[in-house]
Amino acid sequence: MVRKIKDGLILGTIYLAAFFSVVLLAGIIVYVCVKGIGSVRWSFLTTVSSVLKGTVGIAGNIVNTLYVIILTLVIVIPIGIGSAIWLNEYAGKSRSVRLVEFTTQTLAGIPSVIFGLFGMVFFGTTLGLGYSLLTGALTLTLMVLPLITRNTQEALRAVPDSYRYGAVCMGAAKWYMIRTVLLPSAMPGIVTGVILAVGRIVGESAALLFTAGSGYLLPGSGEGLFHKIMESGGTLAVQLYLSMSKAQYDTAFGIAVVLLCIVVIVNFLTGIFADKLNAALRK
């Protein structure tokens, strides 16, 4: 009898905790949407904030975010995939493999403030890139590298060895085999890593505040599009933080809604590709 009561109590606590977690989550999403949906208008998304014209808008920040995403991905995807290929296909089991794996895991655990400090002194000062979108992208490259490496590695591990032997036995050289057999089979895993990286980049603020700065203007046309890379620019998350510290809460909640939508899309896409990878694993 006592045991039944005790079990019931513990079960009750478990239900309570789960209920609490779910309510908390639902509350967060609903609250942000209710508070922020009012500021998200077409003009909010397509204009730049200006005191003269009296407009409040985040177009510049959206463009900056796209710049940072593209720049970072262009740098990080080849490095991450290359690193995973080396770990899984070339390196075997040696000391350097353990070192690469340990450092990759360490990179994943370093807080973004530290990345911000390092990016500021290394890319900004030592390499002389200053406060620019490029500095920000290079800093983020180090931050999301583990995501790409690990997901690619997982995906490569899931490719059956028979594919490798088959290709090599038919006379394929190793790189040819990797390029035409392994990478296509590992594609869902790689894409998952890339999408997760995009999610992380979009949400990052501490690492970008000291590296990419806080500019919010649109790039000029023509050559200006290219020059923008060397100019400072705040992403959506950075602008959210800045608006918050200036007590412009309407703008802040508006950006929060936009970010939330992006996160939902990112999670949805990740789910699709992870399912594909799992289906491939089961075969």
Partner 1 sequence: MNVKAKCIISKDRVCIVETAAQAIFTICAFVAIFAVGSITLYMIANGVPALFKIGIRDILFSATWKPTAQEPEFGILYIVLTSIMGTALAVMIGVPIALLTAVFLAEIAPKTLTAVIKPAVELLAGIPSVVYGLLGLMVLNPLVYKWEQNLYRGSETHQFTGGANLLSAVLVLAVMILPTVVSISESAIRAVPSELKTSSMALGASHVQTIFRVILPAAKPGIIMAIVLGVGRAIGEAMAISLVSGGCVNFPMPFHSVRFLTTAIVSEMGYASGLHRQVLFTIGLVLFGFIMIVNLILNNILIREDR
Residues 23-42 that bind partner 1 (CB under 8 A): 24-26, 28-29, 31-32, 35
Tokens of 82: 């290359």
Q: How far is the CB of 69 from partner 1 (least distance, A)?
A: 14
Separation between Cα atoms, residue 271 and residue 205, nearest integer Å: 25
User: In the stretch 67-106, what mask flags binding to partner 1 with x, by CB under 8 A?
Assistant: -----------xxxxxx-xxxxxxxx------xx-xxxxx
CB of 67 to partner 1, least distance (A): 18
Q: Torsion angle of alpha carbons 116, 122, 126, 128, nearest 10°?
A: -50
Phi, psi angle pair for 55, to nearest 5° = -105, 150
Q: Does 205 bind partner 1 (CB under 8 A)?
A: yes
Q: Is 261 in the site for partner 1 (CB under 8 A)?
A: no
Question: Whole-angstrom Cα distance, residue 71 to residue 197?
Answer: 12
Nearest-approach distance from CB 91 to partner 1, in angstroms: 7
- b/e map 77-108, b = 16+ CB within 10 Å: beebbebbbebbbeeeeeeeeeebbeebeebe
CB of 269 to partner 1, least distance (A): 12
Applying the rule CB under 8 A, the residues between 145 and 204 that interact with partner 1 are 145-146, 149, 157, 161, 164-165, 168, 172-178, 199, 202-204
Residues belonging to the chain: 283
- Using the minimum distance from each CB to partner 1, give the nearer residue, 83 or 232: 83
276 forms part of the interface with partner 1 (CB under 8 A): no
Q: Which is nearer to partner 1, 99 or 225 (CB)?
A: 99
The two structure tokens encoding residue 194:
């890339």
